[in-house]
Amino acid sequence: MIQEKLKEYFSVVFEEDLIQEIIEVGTYKKVKENELLLDLGDKFDKIPLMLNGAIKISREDDNGDEIVLYFLERGDTCTITFGSGLTSSKSKVRGVAEKDSEVVFIPIHKLEEWLVKYKSWRNFVIDSYNIRLSEMLEAIDTLAFMKMDQRLYKYLTDKVKIMRDSTLNTTHQKIAQDLNTSRVVVSRLLKQLENEGKIKLHRNKIEVLEF
Amino acid sequence: MIQEKLKEYFSVVFEEDLIQEIIEVGTYKKVKENELLLDLGDKFDKIPLMLNGAIKISREDDNGDEIVLYFLERGDTCTITFGSGLTSSKSKVRGVAEKDSEVVFIPIHKLEEWLVKYKSWRNFVIDSYNIRLSEMLEAIDTLAFMKMDQRLYKYLTDKVKIMRDSTLNTTHQKIAQDLNTSRVVVSRLLKQLENEGKIKLHRNKIEVLEF
DNA sequence: TCTTTTGTGTAACAAAAGTTACATCTATAA
DNA sequence: TTATAGATGTAACTTTTGTTACACAAAAGA
């Protein structure tokens, strides 16, 4: 089961031998929607490799304020966990499943071993870091250069892409949490987006019309 | 000259053989204060390794708006350049010397070669990425959770640490650029910080009293 | 059914940040 | 010396965002 999925998704990326090793040492895990997958601050001795689904990665500060960083999809890994020992910061990185997802955990000591052994693993690790860095840059751009209305619309369209569904099942309150603002602000700006014809509002549901 | 400095700064980190290779293939460069070291968007076939000095890394968007991400110091490298081919984004990452600095450039194709060959290089690359990621997280925290007065004070104290000098030679206008706000806002908040006894203002100069 | 919880809409106000305008002041060049 | 450019201080105003308060509607539960 896990073997088949690993082969199906990663045979293009990884050498046969490496896939075999992943099957041997990896731990398979199913994560239900809204379940907490990882919580840093915790020490992390394994790294997650996404088989399918979607994980929302967010940052939380001491006051419980939160901000969404990006989403993980099939084939992604969460490189931030590699260095969880280093960051002495109080803030946390959290990963919560946005839909039912499947993940393989790989013991962290294999990371270096495989760097020597497999070219495909070297590429994968370097690429993962680069993708993560550029996603962090995108988050920084969003925070630094966009107003809340633009941030909100970006959030909605990003989520539509990840969920592969133009109708989002969510509430204004939850969106406000993800953007670190208040429910009233979100309601106000959503109504504005609706008036501009970009979305359609329902209870517990938002249709995104253009994206 | 470059040999001595490399040995002096990196003999603790790198194996003897690796330092020898760096000396052979690296290109040494002096960068004067305010000089542009790197500008991404440009393709980058070499990665910088800091010998000494300080480089300000900032993000610039299409409109020319800018935001400072972090500073590089001795021993740092700029992992963002590794993946410069990937990021198709229009925005740019820039590196400008904050003081006279010395840098060794390493051809990017050596990166993978050395990953296989040297354990110290593997650690260095992974550590660099992790440090960079956590610095990006800090930038995100600052943008997401702090008001402008706090961001300004953090900027001043961070810069004092990097410059190893509690008196900063700068202008309100330059600070405003680094924080992506306006000169008037900076002047207003600086005056407020002065009234709180945290800094002392002079023409072209700011003394940071506590940090 | 009636009650309670949850989600949404909106007004009124407060705080933070951005903008425009102008007055000084200082260093430097002509 | 005088003129000019750059730097700072500050008032007045606008826009954006955050807060408080309350009305109402839909869903869930008793």
For the CA of B10 and the C1' of D19, the distance in angstroms is 54
Q: What is the pLDDT of residue A159?
A: 97
Q: What is the pLDDT of residue A79?
A: 72
Q: What is the mean pLDDT of residues B106-118?
A: 91
Q: What is the pLDDT of residue B45?
A: 75
Asked if the model's pLDDT at residue A37 lies above 90, the reply is no
* A136 part of contact set with chain B, CB < 8 Å: yes
Q: Within chain A, where are the H helices? A: 2-10, 16-25, 109-117, 119-145, 148-163, 172-179, 183-195
Asked if the model's pLDDT at residue A6 lies above 50, the reply is yes
Q: What is the pLDDT of residue A81?
A: 64
Q: What is the mean pLDDT of residues B73-96?
A: 70
Q: What is the pLDDT of residue A82?
A: 63
- Phi–psi pair at A58, nearest 5 degrees: -135, 165
- pLDDT one-digit tens code per residue, B31-71: 999 999 887 655 667 889 999 999 999 999 888 899 999 99
Q: What is the ipTM of this complex?
A: 0.92
For the CA of B67 and the C1' of C29, the distance in angstroms is 34
Q: What percent of chain B has pLDDT above 90?
A: 69
- Say yes or no: Cβ of B203 under 7 A from any atom of strand D: yes
Q: pTM of this prediction?
A: 0.93
Q: Which domains does chain A have, with CATH numbers?
A: 2-143 (2.60.120.10), 146-208 (1.10.10.10)
* B120 part of contact set with chain A, CB < 8 Å: no
Q: How far apart are CA A192 and CA A172, in angstroms?
A: 14
* B146 part of contact set with chain A, CB < 8 Å: no
The better pLDDT of the pair A3, B192 is held by B192
Asked if the model's pLDDT at residue A90 lies above 60, the reply is no
- pLDDT one-digit tens code per residue, B141-188: 999 999 999 999 999 999 999 999 999 999 999 999 999 999 999 999
Q: Which residues of A82-106 are buried (b: 16+ CB within 10 A; e: fewer)?
A: bbbeebebebbbbbbbbbebbbbbb
Asked if the model's pLDDT at residue B20 lies above 90, the reply is yes
